[in-house]
Structure 1
Amino acid sequence: MNESIKLKKATYHLYTFLISKMISSLGANVYSFGMSMFILSITGSAFSFAANLIFSILPRTILSPIAGIIVDRFSRKAIVLTGQAGTALIITGLLVYSLIFGLSIPAIYVTTVFYSICSTFTGIAFTASVANLVDEDRIQKAMSFNQLSLSIAGIGGPIVGGMLFGFLSIELFLVINIVAYVIAFLLESTMNFRLYSKEQGQEQKQESMISSFKEGFAYLKTKQVISSLLWVLLLLNMFFTSVNVGIQFILVEKLKMEYTLIGFVEAGAAIGMLVFSIYFAARSNVKFPLLFSKRSILGMSALVSVIAIPLVVSFSSGVNFVYFFMVMFLFGSLGVLTNTPIGVLLQKEVDENYRGRIFGILEMMAMGMMPLGTLIFGVLYDLVPAQYILIVSSITLIMIVLVFLRRSVLEMAHPELKEKRIGNLETAEIIK
Structure 2
Amino acid sequence: MIKVSEALAIVAENSSNMPVQRIPVRKALGYILAETLYSPIDMPPFRQSAMDGYAFIHSEKHQYDVISTSQAGDHSNIKLNENEAVRIFTGAFVPKNADTVVMQEHVLANKDSILIAAMPPQFSNIRNKGEQIAKEEVVFEANTLITPAAIGFLACLGITEITVYKKPKVAILVTGNELVKPGKKLPKGKIYESNSVMLEAALQTIGINKTKVYKVKDNLKATKKALKGILEKYDVVLISGGISVGDYDFVKDALLANGVEELFYKINQKPGKPMFFGSKKDTLVFALPGNPASSLTNFYIYVYPAIKNRMGFSDIHLPKLVRKLNDPITNTTGKTLFLKALYDETNVTILDGQASSMLNTFAIANSLLIVPDDVEGLKKGQLVTLLPIN
Identify the TM-score tier after normalising by the shorter chain. Answer: under 0.3
More helix per residue: 1 or 2? 1
TM-score, scaled relative to structure 2: 0.19
TM-score, scaled relative to structure 1: 0.18
More strand per residue: 1 or 2? 2
